[in-house]
Amino acid sequence: MPASALQGVYLSLVSGIGYGLIISLLAGGLSLIYGVMNNVNTSHGAFYMLGGFLTFFAVSSLHLPIVLSITFAFAAAFGLGLICLYVLIPRTMWVSSDPDSQNIVMILFLALAQVLQRGVFILYGGGSVAVPSILFGSIALPGDVFISYQTVISIAISILCYAALFIFLRDSKIGKAIRAFSQDRELAEAMGVRVSTIALMTFGLGVSLAALSGALLSSIYSVTATTGWNELVIAFVIVTFGGIGSISGSFLGGLVYGIVYSITQYYLPAYSFVIALVLIYIVLITKPTGILGEIIERA
């Protein structure tokens, strides 16, 4: 293999790991929501977009420092998520194993995504916005490969978030309740775990992870009001790769997707998204009961 090709793979690996770790936060949120609530959040991509715009709003209108702005976006998405779930979704459908209810919830979330995207479009127009980097400049890696401080910091924040999420789910009272609830709903309810608290916490946390992912990536790439649909599909792909309801699976799935995407983007930039999706589709149809086990039903 020529030296330039090797450097291309190396560069793609580095940027793919960075992108994959940040986008895996988005997938982690989707996985958490499905794993606990049994509902696919089709507005997840819209919350990703909202993360970028909330950070931009905090920086440009509230004049907050960038780190505080990202924190603001995380907290605001959490609050907005709670309000949306509380107002939009009938309480009996918050956690449901009935396919009809799940479909209705998916359609309601899809309508919510439309409203959020059009709402942002009305407020900010169709142009793209980008938030400033936390730190400017770049680090030189061996082999003449440069990686920006912003990417390094975003990777560090993603890893910290995963660590915090693991500790929260493992050690906190609510985290333990969430895990118990996802394993055996009836038994958890019998032990005093409240469905509404678990659903609200899970949904709030899930969408705020999506918003955090959007906030971090909007300083590397820009974000527009119509951003979010590709990201929803990407999150779904990562979740099915890593295993539904598995946070560590989302972490690994995100890494795999990020690397595949970056390598295809290096060699065939126009088709990177399409090739990544087609490759994953081939995996889905050739190994339908393996990675996907849970999403197959008898037909």
Partner 1 sequence: MKGLESSSHTPWPSRINIRDINFIIFLVSIASSIIIFLADKPYLKFIMMYFFAYSIYTASWDLLYSYSGQLSLGQAMPFGLGAFFTIMLTQLAKLPLVPSAILGTLAAAAVGGSIGATTIRLKPGYQGIALLLFSQVLYWLSLIAYGEEGVSIFTETPPSETTIYLTGLTLFVLSMFAIYMIHNSNYKLKLLAIKGDNLAADVCGINVRFHKVIVLYLSSLLAGLAGTYYGIFTSHADFSIFAVPNSFLPIGMAIIGGIGFLGGPIIGSAVVSVIINILPIWYSLAITYFAYGIIVILILKLRPTGIMGFLQRSARKEKSKVAKG
Residues engaged in binding partner 1 (CB under 8 A): 39-40, 42, 88, 90, 99, 102-104, 106-108, 110-112, 114-115, 118-119, 121-122, 229-230, 232-233, 236-237, 240, 270-271, 273-274, 277-278, 281, 284-285, 288, 295-299
Q: How far is the CB of 36 from partner 1 (least distance, A)?
A: 15
Q: How far is the CB of 71 from partner 1 (least distance, A)?
A: 29
d(CA 299, CA 190): 34
Tell me which residue of 1, 2, 3, 23 sits closest to 256, measured CA to CA. 23
Q: Where are the extended beta strands (E) located within 105-226?
A: 138-141, 145-148
Exposure letters 105-117 (e unless 16+ CB within 10 A, then b): beebbbebbeebb
Closest to partner 1 by CB, 3 vs 299, is 299
Tokens 């490969």 belong to residue:
145
Q: How far is the CB of 147 from partner 1 (least distance, A)?
A: 27
Closest to partner 1 by CB, 184 vs 294, is 294
Q: How far is the CB of 292 from partner 1 (least distance, A)?
A: 8
Contact 16, 260 (CB under 8 A): yes
Closest to partner 1 by CB, 70 vs 120, is 120
Helix axes of 173-183 and 149-171: crossing angle, nearest 10 degrees: 80
Contact 103, 112 (CB under 8 A): no
d(CA 85, CA 142): 48
Closest to partner 1 by CB, 76 vs 108, is 108
Query: What's the N-to-C CA distance of the chain in angstroms?
Result: 47
Q: How far is the CB of 9 from partner 1 (least distance, A)?
A: 24
Closest to partner 1 by CB, 63 vs 298, is 298
Q: How far is the CB of 3 from partner 1 (least distance, A)?
A: 30
Closest to partner 1 by CB, 112 vs 207, is 112
Contact 49, 117 (CB under 8 A): yes
Query: At 247, which amino acid appears?
Result: I
Tokens 């309810």 belong to residue:
189
Q: How far is the CB of 199 from partner 1 (least distance, A)?
A: 17
Tokens 């394993």 belong to residue:
183
Closest to partner 1 by CB, 236 vs 257, is 236
